[in-house]
Amino acid sequence: MTLKLRNLSVLLILGTTILVLAALSGTASAFKEILPGGELIYPGVGIDTVRIGEPLPSRLPSLLEKSIAERRIVIHVEGSRKAVERITILSPDYALARSQIRVRVNTFDEVLRYYGSGIVNNQDGRQTVQFPTEGMEFVFSKRSGLIEAISVFSPLRPKIRIQQYRIFKDQFKQSR
Amino acid sequence: MGETTNQNVSSETGDTTQPTADKIPVKFDLTPFLDIMKSVGIVIGSVGSIAAIFLWIGYAIIVARLRAYNLYGIVRYTDEYTTEAGYQFFQDMFTFFQDWKVVLLFIAVIIAIIITIPVGPFIGSKINPQPAKGIKCFFNIFVIIRQQGLNYLIFSTLAISACLVLVTNLPAKKLYSNIFEQEQLLSMLVEECKSGPLLFAPRKGADKKANTFQKIFYNELSKSEKPTREWLAEVLAELNPEDRSDIRDKIIKFQQEFEIRESPDFNFNGDFDKSETYRTLLNIRLSSKLNVELPRRIDKTLADIHMLLGRILTSEEGESFSTLVAYTANNRPVNDSIQELGLYRENVEVFFDHKDSHTANIIDDLKKLRTFNFGQFFLSYAFWTLVGIFIYLVINSTRIINFKQWELGYFATMVLIFLTIIVTLPTTYGRYKYEFKVLKLNDIVFAGDEKGENPVRKKLDQLKSRDAGLYILGPTKGKEVILGAIKTTGDSAVNTPQIIMMDRETVKYMNVEPLRARDIPDIIALFRQSR
């Protein structure tokens, strides 16, 4: 038993030395850089600091305030609840999350390639593609073929039919 | 601990006879005095070591965090702040006990340490304990473990595993995979919500079970549902948009469908409030609201995770997981969002029942959502094992003179493991858990700067005129460090973070405010930019 433990201690010393070296090398390792990103647009949700369905924050980042003042971002607020209803982005400073699609950078084809087919409309010399269930709309310039505006709004949800409620009518009639 | 035998002590008790002791009369026996001195030495040494360890932990935490922000060598913190980092570390180790699973882990580790902690020198015994049943049999196992020296093996396994957990960066990897698991779960939930409506039916007697906050939730949900004629028309139109008939006909149709035996003629002078028709329509309306609101909140939480992940999801530059988890403060907005969603789900469940399998599946999946907590199990395990190793070293340090060669090797190994953990544990904590107290600087007044000619003031004004956010980095030593950051895109010259250092004596007062959780990721990104 003593002999076995002696061998074990030798192994332990060797192992620990390796571990210490590994630990020290780990301490020295540097993390990779996070790329600084501008604000992102989330379909059906809003942008980093302003969210659809929520009131407009009392304090906005200076860059966003500037963008609103210069009408590079238009925020539609619903009257009674003062909740944000729709955000229209006309500036290339903002990119859609994941796809990184931007105004005046990406084209109609690139949008369809990433998001699949949407509802295409041609009106007033403009082409629009709507994704109602995602809660976003793109407006394209006919001349350049690039995105002119990206709008995000509350997505269209599957509706409950009255027949579905009726199945549980007794429960719906009761008080809480 | 029963296997220990000290040769010196046993000779004094008369177990062995030494011929010289019989011949030379002993006038003063110093042995008890030496024993007391030894005990006092151990106590003083232990207290001193604990104090040194405490200071070391504070410094290691600060250095690890400064290195992560590339501020090491630029910023120095006050000794008080460094000590506070140590306090925070110990506080967190005990705060982890709020999770009962950590308490169980702590109990298991402490029991394992008490049972197996080696107290040398190892003697062993070949005497088999008496065969026993029940609890005595349980204790016999421990006796056998110690007699056979297996406690050395188990104790070293505990120590090595704690060491491995830290050096392999396991807590960070676990957090990284957890973030992606939650992202996948939420993405799946978003798709599920699109595939069909969510149907919630009111739960009977919910009002009695609900607490104050849950009642507030219900009141908020039903706040805008006032029993007016307009409301009735709106709800009926929403319920059946194709029906173009008169409102009275719609009410009759609705009452027939839901078997409500009431007059369809309401005067709205309090009669409608108390009617079964209103109650049923209100419940339907709230259910319809939840069908929109719950998926909206799921979308929002997913968007918050995507905000945290930033460009990592789409980056082509091979971002490593470490960038994702290096800054705990980044996780806070997401954790808040996940907690809010969890609370919302709980509140919904108090008042509403989910009858269909589609809604039930979504609610069940929502229950699986977890906030991101950095390695509280791993850190607790490593910390309590470190305590065990420390006790082993203290107990055995006075006995090593009697150790055989292999046991000396074992002791040396434990010293090395102790050093590894004492270096890596605070480093890991500092790198992934600890955050500096960064404050937003609103205004600053310099001593004797009535004319506003202080060069630092000019620089700060210049930064402010370019929409820069100004931040101070907490109690730094001697100098005040201000981080100026301009987020304006398009002008690369002003995008570089500015670090301004100035003598504290020149400042008369500062107006600062705490950072909002949502601002922290931006500040961290700016720190990283300076790398």
- Over residues B90-147, the pLDDT tens digits come to 999 998 888 899 999 999 999 999 989 998 788 876 666 666 666 677 777 777 888 8
State the average pLDDT over residues B45-60: 88
- B303: nearest CB among A42, A100, A155: A42
CA B39 remoteness from chain centre: 39
Instruction: Provide the shortest C-alpha distance from residue A63 to chain B (in Å).
Output: 7
By three-state DSSP, how is residue A124 classified? coil
> Which is higher by pLDDT, B316 or B476?
B476
State the average pLDDT over residues A12-41: 49
- Write phi, then psi, for B507 (nearest 5 degrees): -95, 130
What is the pLDDT, as a whole number, of residue A5?
Answer: 55
Type of residue at B153? L
Task: Give CA separation, B491 vs A102, B143, B495, B496, in Å.
Answer: 19, 74, 7, 10
Q: Report d(CA B58, CA B64) in Å as an integer.
A: 10
- Interface contact B167-A23, CB threshold 8 A: yes
- B201: nearest CB among A16, A93, A168: A168
Give the DSSP letter string of B297-356.
HHHHHHHHHHHHHGGGGT-SS---HHHHHS-HHHHHHHHHHHHHHHHHHHHHHHHEEE-S
- Interface contact A5-B427, CB threshold 8 A: no
pLDDT band (50, 70, 90) for residue B291: very high
What is the pLDDT, as a whole number, of residue B15?
Answer: 47
Length of chain A equals: 176
State the average pLDDT over residues A143-171: 87
Q: Report d(CA A139, CA A93) in Å as an integer.
A: 17
Give the DSSP letter string of B1-64.
-TT---HHHHHHTTSS--HHHHHS--S---HHHHHHHHHHHHHHHHHHHHHHHHHHHHHHHHHH
Quick check: A109 contacting B, CB < 8 Å?
Answer: no
In terms of C-beta distances under 8 Å and separation of at least 24 residues, what long-range contacts does A19-24 make, across chains too? A19/B160, A19/B163, A19/B164, A19/B167, A19/B417, A19/B420, A20/B416, A20/B419, A20/B420, A22/B167, A23/B163, A23/B166, A23/B167, A23/B420, A23/B423, A23/B424, A24/B423
- DSSP secondary-structure letter at B400? G
Q: What is the pLDDT of residues B360-389, one digit of tens each?
A: 999 999 999 988 877 889 999 999 999 999
Task: Give CA separation, B361 vs B199, B210, B288, B356, B357, in Å.
Answer: 12, 23, 18, 9, 6
What is the pLDDT, as a whole number, of residue B90?
Answer: 92
Buried b (16+ CB within 10 A) or exposed e, B262-294: eebebeeeeebeebbbbbbbbbbbbbbebbbbb
What is the pLDDT, as a whole number, of residue B465?
Answer: 76
**B 434-473 residues with CB < 8 A to A:** 467, 469
Task: Give CA separation, A44 vs A47, A52, A76, in Å.
Answer: 10, 7, 14
Residue B490 has pLDDT above 50, yes or no: no
Quick check: A27 contacting B, CB < 8 Å?
Answer: yes
Quick check: B514 contacting A, CB < 8 Å?
Answer: no
- Interface contact A173-B152, CB threshold 8 A: no
Nearest CA in chain A to B294: A157
Cβ atoms B403, B414 nearer than 8 A: no
Q: What tokens does B319 get?
A: 């971002």
Q: What is the pLDDT of residues A37-78, one digit of tens each?
A: 457 899 999 988 888 988 888 777 777 777 888 888 899 888
Q: What is the pLDDT of residues B198-248, one digit of tens each?
A: 989 888 888 888 899 999 999 989 888 888 888 888 888 888 878 788 888
Q: Report d(CA B421, CA B317) in Å as an integer.
A: 33
pLDDT band (50, 70, 90) for residue B528: low
- Interface contact A17-B416, CB threshold 8 A: yes
State the average pLDDT over residues A4-16: 59
Q: Report d(CA B386, CA B392) in Å as an integer.
A: 10
- B194: nearest CB among A133, A168, A173: A133
Cβ atoms B113, B155 nearer than 8 A: yes
Q: Report d(CA A52, CA B190) in Å as an integer.
A: 16
Cβ atoms B152, B119 nearer than 8 A: no
As a whole number, the mean pLDDT across chain B is 81
Cβ atoms B318, B311 nearer than 8 A: no
Q: What tokens does A139 get?
A: 């407006």
Residue B206's closest CA among B222, B194, B190?
B222
What is the pLDDT, as a whole number, of residue A18?
Answer: 55
- B149: nearest CB among A1, A40, A172: A1
Give this complex's ipTM: 0.72
**B 226-285 residues with CB < 8 A to A:** 239-240, 257-260, 276, 279-280, 283-284
- Interface contact A19-B164, CB threshold 8 A: yes
In terms of C-beta distances under 8 Å and separation of at least 24 residues, what long-range contacts does A133-141 make, across chains too? A133/B194, A134/A43, A134/A44, A135/A43, A135/A44, A135/A45, A135/A52, A135/B299, A136/A43, A136/A44, A136/A96, A138/A108, A138/A111, A140/A107, A140/A108
- B320: nearest CB among A32, A98, A158: A32
Chain B residues within 8 A of A22 when measuring between CB atoms = 167
Q: What tokens does B127 get?
A: 């005497």
Quick check: A55 contacting B, CB < 8 Å?
Answer: no
Q: At what angle do helices A2-28 and B405-432 cross, to 10 degrees?
A: 30
Quick check: A132 contacting B, CB < 8 Å?
Answer: no
Type of residue at B99? D
